[in-house]
A and B are shown apart, each in its own frame.
Chain A
Amino acid sequence: MMQFMLLFSRQGKLRLQKWYVAHQDKVKKKITRELITTILARKPKMCSFLEWKDCKIVYKRYASLYFCCAVEQEDNELLTLEIIHRYVELLDKYFGSVCELDIIFNFEKAYFILDELLVGGEIQETSKKNVLKAIAAQDVLQEVGNDDTYDI
């Protein structure tokens, strides 16, 4: 089960955080800071895995963004890389060649997409098409009451 997923920039700015385990805000911040520092310090040629506390950290950089997940000992770290990749593909399809700015300005959409891919830290849907269909349908539902109060 995935414990959490963090997206952060090369400058160390947090762009998205999804927690599947309960921690106090203070603890979350501490973990986030610690991992961002550790990962940014690693050289690009190094492997994508870290042993950290009783978890395995799996991370991968896409352009200026780092995707970082904590999974449990029994989880397959190579599969975690595939999950990250799947999420990137979904973002890319949704935004159309996604870039960091898309995620900054539409972070809520990025969360919605992740929530259609994973529930409770486990994969719920392995078909890209189904995920995007569900997101599109909900976006339509949102636009039905189309006036400016719905435009956040």
Chain B
Amino acid sequence: MNAESGFNPGLNMATIRQAINETIERVRMPTPTRLRDLIRQIRAAKTQAEERAVVNRECAYIRSTFREEDSVWRCRNIAKLFYIHMLGYPAHFGQLECLKLIASPKFTDKRIGYLGAMLLLDERQDVHLLITNCLKNDLNSPTQFVVGLALCTLGAIASPEMARDLAGEIEKLMKSPNAYIRKKAVLCAFRIIRRVPELMEIFLPATRSLLNEKNHGILITGVTLITEMCENSPDTLNHFKKIVPNLVRILKNLILAGYSPEHDVSGVSDPFLQVKILRLLRILGRNDPDASEAMNDILAQVATNTETSKNVGNTILYETVLTIMDIKSEGGLRVLAVNILGRFLLNNDKNIRYIALHTLLRTVHVDISAVQRHRSTILECLKDPDVTIRKRAMELSFALVNTQNIRAMAKELLIFLEKADPEFKAQCSSSMVNSAERYAPTIRWHLDTLLNILIAAGNYVRDDVVSSTIQIISSSPSNEQGVITVKLWESIQETLDNQPLLQVAVWCIGEFGDSLLYGDDLEFTLERPTESIVIELFNKLLCSNQVNMVSKQYALVSLTKLSTRLKAGQGEIKGIVEAFGSHLNVDLQQRGVEFSQLFGSYNHLRTSLLEKMPAMTITRMNGNTEGSGEVEPSNIKVTDEKSSTNGRSNTDTLLDLLGSGDDIIMSTTSSVIPSNTTNTVESNNLLDLLGDIDLSASTAPVIVSNNNNNLLSSPVTMSIFDDNENTNISDVSGVFSLNGDSNIPDNFDLGLDAMPQSPPTNAKIVTALDKNDLFVQLSMVNQSDYQQINMITTNNSKDTLEQYLFQAAVPKSFQLQMMSPSGSVLLPGGKITQEMRVKNNSSNAVLRMKLRISYLCNGNPVLEQCEVSEFGK
């Protein structure tokens, strides 16, 4: 009858009464299914529905038993609930029952109850106050295993509140003479500091003595706790500098002591403890020559004496290498460390190879020449069948490229790029473009490499590769332009699938078609294409379904330009261009109509309008093309374009106009340009189109809207567009009369003054900041190819704000271009406007913006930062 007697020898009336009650209850209630029977039933279920039925029935039963106050079967029922929970069914109704089990005096109940607390409770539960009380009780239990259960639970689910409430108890237990309790308490202290760093002070006094113990459990938990404390605060780090000799001694004992079966792992003595000590040494030795000096010898010993045939040995070597590279270690030791990594690279075990690449990448900045020695091995890893390893090898390879090895490296990387998975191609090609730009030995090599990248990466290259390639070709000497044009011509003979390549090729043929067809200084022996073959190819790609719209836009402009490069064939070209006058795509149609004017009434202007583009100055759109994924201030491109007299400063937009035509697509409403902006980018486009016509006489502020593309349209063709709700056009076009002399800007003024400047009606307006009487609003308008965001800052305060600077950053998948602001001084009640253009490179990304606003208020600098994400899609 007396089941309790073994566990609780103190027999008294209460326990006797309880035993009697339990016996009665057992008779009254049917025995519930045992855990293993339930598991069998569930496993026997053939379908999901069947399983659900079993689970639901059991859950219903378990719930019903919860209503009984003192069920002797609670433990069994809760255990079943854990299994059900693991299958993914809700089981939170068992939380309170777990607490009842914990409160039970029986060890089985407590063991299951605490298990449940760890499984079913998370930090959000309001039962935490209850469990804190249970823990407090059990932490003071005379039975070490009950204390152990409570400590283990606290270690797993300590919330900040629990940490605060129980820190005192834990500190007491950290001094316990019982090693079993002490080690667990130390890890609880570790957890408490993790959650509430300011509680660290309480534990400091009891911590140092932990390292004097022989017991490995206490040593390893002690080292873990000290590591956490050192990472927590620099003061504590300094406080613990003096333990370096202790740690060195412990490590030395581990290495030198003979075989100890208790802690041996494949011939290595307690690798767990060794690794923890090495990591703590790393933290203590960082930027500290004295501490580093004190650990040099032991690190050398570990690095040379550790057995490397098994994973354990390599585990320790890996940690040792990290420590050597991180602290102020001797040069010889560093060479030793890099050589260990070199050996790792040759290891048969993939995990070790991965570690080697990963660590070399971390250390490449410390000692690049040491890493260079392993270059060939690293390049071998580019061919590894494991994608994780290939990715690391690629990153490391790019880190190793320099002026000396660029030719060889580029060759290997091109082979890699060709065979790489699509996911790598974008990153790899952009990185290659960067490396080529930095280290190219000759222009010829640079251009050839860009061509090879375009061929190898195909449609996976990022947009910036196309534009930067064109820029580089444009600024090359003319004989190189001719050579690359011929190569590009050859490269597109096979296929028209590769759009980026096609765009670059077509652009070059348009610009340098004369060299392609009639060049004489080329070292090529190939047969030059005839004019009709070239025109035929253009015709083919303009009609092809494989060719995308952007490439066709390039091609149409290019073909028009070609008309002035060819000796004959203008007639054919005219025919093709005119055919686009009725194209379904409005952009191509417009180009068709406008360009055909150049073959008609404005034929005399064609040659001068379509001259070669002037060499573009290279401005890096994106300094950071390595996919770090973070939005950093360095990614912000602030285009500071003041009124330029020759109208040719902005090469990027120039490219757009003649290339993709993104800016000149007919948009439903014209962009609103702040009235006080002097010379916007669009006007540059316009002036650029005019090429060499001298516009330097223009000094008056010019304001031009997107509609400037109608420059070439006559009133007759306008009728086509009247249906397109673009009413502004007629205002402008009527005024334009192109006669090739330099008073065009005056006409612009006339035309544009008449333009309505009302804000667009479909703008989404977001308030980005409303603070200290500073009110920042963003209004977004979808343009055909980008989103135009107008920032308006209003100063509602009574102070004048000076040096107002508005900066914005967008996620990597977007491109941000910022126009110049309308001013930098905000008078009381004053406004500043600034236009931004955001281009989305991946269709499914949602636009977010980080904003940084700085200004001087009464001479005091003020900085505001905020994030805007409500633009929607």
Contact = CB atoms under 8 A, between A and B. Distances in A.
Q: Do A and B bind each other?
A: yes
A122 B224 contact: yes
Interface string B107-147: 11001100100110011100000000000000000010100
B194 A82 contact: no
B328 interface: no
Contacts of A31: none
A141 interface: yes
B341 to A, nearest CB: 13
B492 to A, nearest CB: 38
Given A129-B262, A149-B22, A149-B75, A45 B386 contact: yes
B734 to A, nearest CB: 60
State the majority secondary structure of interface residues on B. helix
A123 B605 CA distance: 81
B431 to A, nearest CB: 18
Contacts of B76: 149, 151-152
B386 A46 contact: yes
A98 interface: no
Given A115-B152, A149-B76, A152-B75, A78 B355 contact: yes
Given A47-B351, A76-B318, A134-B180, A124 B388 contact: no
Interface in A100-152: 104-105, 107-108, 111-112, 115, 119-130, 134, 137-138, 141-142, 144-152
Nearest to A106: B36
A76 B319 contact: yes
A127 B271 contact: no
A122 B6 contact: no
A145 to B, nearest CB: 5
Contacts of B79: 108, 152
Interface stretch (B185-193, B232-240, B297-305, B412-420): B185-193
Contact of B385 (A45, A77, A79, A134): A45
Contacts of B512: none
Contacts of B524: none
B6 A146 contact: yes
Interface string B342-379: 00000000111111000000000000000000000000
A34 interface: no
B159 interface: yes
Interface string A73-99: 010111101110010000000000000
Given A29-B88, A48-B351, A77-B355, A104 B152 contact: no
B422 interface: no
A40 B145 CA distance: 38
B594 interface: no
Contacts of B352: 78
A79 B7 contact: no
A122 B189 CA distance: 12
B530 interface: no
Contacts of B451: none
Contacts of A111: 115, 118
Contacts of A105: 36, 39
Contacts of B90: 25
Contacts of B36: 105
B123 A22 contact: yes
Contacts of B388: 46-47, 49-51
A121 B807 CA distance: 42
A108 B82 contact: yes
Nearest to B314: A78
A124 B221 contact: yes
A34 B547 CA distance: 38
Contacts of B355: 77-78
Given A49-B354, A146-B6, A152-B35, A138 B216 contact: no
Contacts of A124: 183-184, 187, 217, 220-221
Contacts of B122: 19, 22-25
- Chain A contact surface mostly: mixed
Contact size range, B: 35 or more
B72 interface: yes
A119 B7 contact: no
A69 to B, nearest CB: 14
A48 B354 CA distance: 9
Contacts of A46: 350, 385-388
Q: How large is the interface on A (under 10, 10 to 19, 20 to 34, 35 or more residues)?
A: 35 or more
Contacts of A55: none
> Which of A134, A147, A152: most chain B Cβ within 10 A?
A152
A120 B188 contact: yes
Interface string B78-92: 010011001110101
B39 A79 contact: no
Nearest to A128: B262
Nearest to B151: A119
Interface string B261-283: 01101000011110110010000
A47 B279 contact: no
B3 interface: yes
Contacts of A45: 350, 385-386
B311 interface: yes
Contacts of A76: 275, 279, 315, 318-319
A14 interface: yes
B103 interface: no
Interface in B710-760: none
A78 B108 contact: no
Contacts of A48: 350-351
B240 to A, nearest CB: 17
B314 A127 contact: no
Given A104-B39, A145-B4, A47 B389 contact: yes
B86 A107 contact: yes
Contacts of A16: 86
Nearest to A75: B279
A151 B106 CA distance: 13
A64 B224 CA distance: 33
Contacts of A29: 88
A119 B272 contact: no
A78 B86 contact: no
A1 interface: yes
Contact of B157 (A22, A104, A112, A141): A22
A152 B107 contact: no
B805 interface: no
B272 A47 contact: no
A123 B112 CA distance: 22
Contacts of B143: 141
A79 B6 contact: no
B312 interface: yes
Nearest to A1: B194
B97 to A, nearest CB: 14
A44 B194 CA distance: 36
B581 interface: no
A20 B279 CA distance: 21
B350 A151 contact: no
A78 B350 CA distance: 11
Contacts of A83: 272
B634 to A, nearest CB: 22
Nearest to B317: A78
Contacts of A17: 86, 119
A20 B26 CA distance: 38
A104 B82 CA distance: 12
16 contacts: A17-B119, A47-B354, A78-B352, A81-B315, A81-B351, A83-B272, A119-B183, A119-B188, A124-B217, A125-B183, A126-B217, A142-B108, A145-B107, A147-B3, A149-B3, A152-B79
Interface of A: 1, 14-20, 22-25, 29, 45-51, 74, 76-79, 81-83, 86, 104-105, 107-108, 111-112, 115, 119-130, 134, 137-138, 141-142, 144-152
Given A142-B108, A145-B3, 17 more contacts: A16-B86, A20-B155, A25-B90, A25-B92, A47-B350, A47-B353, A49-B351, A77-B355, A78-B314, A104-B39, A119-B221, A123-B224, A124-B183, A128-B262, A138-B145, A150-B106, A150-B108
- 10 closest residue pairs by CB, A with B: A120-B155, A22-B123, A144-B6, A78-B315, A47-B350, A120-B191, A119-B155, A119-B187, A152-B79, A152-B76
